[in-house]
A and B are shown apart, each in its own frame.
Chain A
Amino acid sequence: MSLDLILFLVLALAAIATALGMLFSRNAVYSALFLVLNFTTVAIFYLLLGAPFIAMSQITVYAGAIMVLFLFVIMLLGADALPRTEVLPWQKPLAIFLAVLLAAEGTFLLLTKARPTGNIVQPEVVVNSMDNLREMGMILFNQYLLPFEVTSILLLVAMVGAIVLTHKEKGGQK
């Protein structure tokens, strides 16, 4: 068993355990912190896959900006622990059963029909250097320039939308 396979298995266990922790924490703050841990684990996976730029954006955007926003809203609303209201008692076991079914089906189809082959080799030193970033920048600003600009408009629209949604009218009508 090679070293990066061991690393992969340990990280995979950590990722699944933190995802489960997020699902089953009663307190929403703990869920958010588990999710931060999960995002960080996935960022390390990106490093293993030879995508250092994506790994860093994952940490800054997801684990940094997005989760801080989540924690801010959780604490703002004081909604960290909701009282349990079980309207449909049979829903939980059914949902878990269907989810296990979905995982089995998805894995089976991906492995038999999509048939991904090959190995992910440990990224060489070249991959984790400026060359990777330079290459990505070249593709991003040549081949994908239009989507890049559209994304900037999208972010602007989202910002305006969030402000409009939470903005209070002067007359107190809202």
Chain B
Amino acid sequence: MVPINYYIILSAILFTLGVTGVLIRRNALIIFMSIELMLNASNLAIVAFSSAIKSFSGQIFVFFVIAVAAAEVAVGLALIVEIFKSKRSIDVDQMSSLKG
């Protein structure tokens, strides 16, 4: 018997770690990974709630979130590769010009 609160707190902690990663890291790939961590934390909260009310809709929603995350990663990594090709770096501090 695990209270649902514990899952919610864990999800909040993981989400915050993802936010921290976006804020303190300069490597675009690590920032992207932190975004995945945040998506994952919110998925955990959704599944915990759906399990608490014994409904399947939450799990279906998480399934869609996973599919959308896969699409997002494909496009995002392609963008990062393109940025690396033109700038020779994926440090976000150096991406300061609007025109490539």
Contacts and interface: CB of A to CB of B under 8 A. Distances in A.
B95 interface: no
Interface of B: 1-10, 12-21, 23-27, 29-30, 32-34, 36-37, 40, 43-44, 47-52, 56-57, 59-60, 62-64, 66-75, 77-82, 84, 89-91, 93-94
B24 A155 contact: no
Contact of A99 (B16, B26, B71): B16
B52 to A, nearest CB: 5
Contacts of B5: 111, 116
Interface residues of A, number: 80
Interface of A: 2, 4-5, 8, 12, 15-16, 19-20, 22-23, 28, 31-32, 35, 38-39, 42, 45-46, 48-51, 53-54, 57-58, 61-62, 65-66, 69-70, 73-74, 76-77, 79, 82, 85, 87, 91-92, 95-96, 98-100, 102-103, 106-107, 110-111, 114, 116-122, 135-136, 139-140, 143-144, 147, 151, 154-155, 157-159, 161-162, 165-166
Contacts, number: 226
